């Protein structure tokens, strides 16, 4: 049984979907939670759910791709919480399109949120982790970063980039008691996958050995493992949670 009593976790993209599930799972395990989302109401609503579980919670509206805003928010978080032990870089977007038609704006938006956002957030809390000689960094990548996908070259590049970033950070900070890992979800039932048409969904299900889409809670369980005592000796891995899709 994992216990995160007296730990503070920062979760980006906590306002919906996988991030919300991770925030609530870590709170159930005893952690106090900082909920970050683009939309203030979404972050605040999940923070209220965390408080209802009896944990401390804070919420911040932040675009993780904005360097100055990340620096300022990280300082505000540290002032409010005193300490941060766990950072989950989950915020992510898609702007799908075939390569030939992909605009620079769609490429940049996805790389900036999914990859640069994780860099900025990790950098902002690294000094804290180094001082504590402890920290758990978890990146929510994707199987698309491993397998690739037609129509998602920007998303795939951002998620593959996160895997390289994860391994470098794991090597750079490991000797100071800090772990850094990635989770690679397959297709999970959230707003991000809700737009899929029935035919694509059926084709996809035929490719998944477990013959079902995953739930946000499946990813939250993986995050709990990496954040808690059970993940103490685990760093630099890509934990695939995809019903067998990518094997
Ligand atoms: P979602 O339902 O679309 O939620 C995305 C969350 O990220 C929202 O809370 C959103 O904030 C936040 N966000 C987006 N851009 C942001 C930014 N620039 N700054 C701060 N927050 C931002 O997505 P999801 O399905 O839960 O996905 C979560 C993560 O898992 C993403 O990184 C995604 O790529 C990854 N993933 C998802 C799947 C899947 O099948 N769903 C599969 C593999 C990987 P607002 O609510 O305020 O807009």
Give the residue whose CA is nearest to atom 27 of ligand 1: 18
- Summarize the confidence of residues 132-160 as an average pLDDT: 98
Mean pLDDT, rounded, of the chain: 97
Say how many Å lie between the CA of residue 110 and the centre of ligand 1: 11
- Summarize the confidence of residues 113-140 as an average pLDDT: 98
pLDDT at 1 over 60: no
Backbone angles phi, psi at 204, to 5 degrees: -60, -45
pTM of the model: 0.98
Q: Angle at which helices 117-132 and 153-173 pack, to 10 degrees?
A: 10
pLDDT at 38: 97
Q: Specify the DSSP element, H or E, that contains 191.
A: helix 191-194
Per residue in 177-211, is it b (16+ CB within 10 Å) or e — as a string?
Answer: ebbbbbbbbbbbebebbeeeeeeeeeeeeeebeee
Give the residue whose CA is nearest to atom 17 of ligand 1: 63
Give the C-alpha distances (Å, rounded to integers) separating 87 from 40, 41, 98, 246.
19, 21, 33, 26
Most informative mutation of 11, 13, 187 for ligand 1 (most atoms within 8 A of CB): 13
pLDDT bin (cut points 50, 70, 90) of residue 2 is low
- Which letter does DSSP use for residue 82 in this model? S
pLDDT at 172 over 80: yes
Q: In a 3-state reduction of DSSP, which class is residue 181?
A: strand
How far apart are the C-alpha atoms of 22 and 19, rounded to whole Å?
5
- Summarize the confidence of residues 163-170 as an average pLDDT: 99
pLDDT at 230 over 90: yes
pLDDT tens, residue by residue, 188-213:
999 989 988 999 899 999 999 999 99
pLDDT at 196: 87
pLDDT tens, residue by residue, 91-105:
999 999 999 999 999
Please state, for a pLDDT cut of 90, what percent of the chain lies above it.
Answer: 96
Token pair, residue 143, equals 């199987």
**Ligand 1 atom nearest to 187, measured from its CA:** 40
pLDDT tens, residue by residue, 108-117:
999 999 999 9
Residues catalogued as catalytic: 155
Task: Please spell the DSSP secondary structure of 25-81, one letter per residue.
Answer: HHHHTT-EEEEEESSHHHHHHHHHHHHHTT--EEEEE--TT-HHHHHHHHHHHHHHH
Asked if 15 and 45 count as a contact pair (C-beta separation under 8 A), the reply is yes
pLDDT tens, residue by residue, 27-78:
999 999 999 999 999 999 999 999 999 999 999 999 999 999 999 999 999 9
Q: Is 113 in the pocket of ligand 1 (CB under 6 A)?
A: yes
**Closest Cα to residue 156, out of 169, 174, 143?**
143
pLDDT at 92: 98
Say how many Å lie between the CA of residue 13 and the centre of ligand 1: 5
How far apart are the C-alpha atoms of 207 and 204, rounded to whole Å?
5
């Amino acid at each position: 049984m994992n216990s995160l009593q007296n730990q503070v976790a920062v979760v980006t993209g906590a306002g919906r979907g996988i991030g919300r599930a991770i925030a609530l799972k870590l709170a159930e395990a005893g952690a106090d939670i900082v909920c970050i989302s683009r939309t203030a109401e979404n972050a605040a609503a999940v923070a209220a759910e965390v408080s209802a579980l009896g944990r401390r919670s804070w919420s911040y509206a932040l675009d993780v791709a904005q360097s100055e805003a990340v620096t300022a928010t990280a300082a505000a978080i540290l002032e409010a919480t005193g300490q941060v032990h766990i950072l989950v870089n989950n915020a992510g977007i898609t702007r799908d399109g075939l390569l030939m038609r992909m605009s620079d704006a769609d490429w940049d938006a996805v790389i900036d949120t999914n990859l640069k956002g994780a860099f900025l957030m990790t950098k902002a809390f690294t000094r804290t982790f180094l001082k504590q000689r402890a920290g758990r960094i978890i990146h929510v990548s994707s199987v698309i970063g491993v397998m690739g996908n037609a129509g998602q070259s920007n998303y795939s590049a951002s998620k593959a980039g996160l895997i390289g970033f994860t391994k470098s950070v794991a090597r750079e900070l490991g000797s100071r008691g800090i772990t850094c890992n990635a989770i690679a979800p397959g297709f999970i039932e959230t707003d991000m996958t809700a737009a899929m048409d029935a035919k694509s969904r059926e084709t996809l299900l035929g490719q998944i050995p477990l013959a079902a889409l995953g739930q946000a809670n499946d990813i939250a369980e993986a995050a709990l493992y990496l954040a808690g005592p059970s993940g103490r000796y685990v760093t630099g891995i890509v934990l695939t949670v995809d019903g067998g899709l990518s094997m």
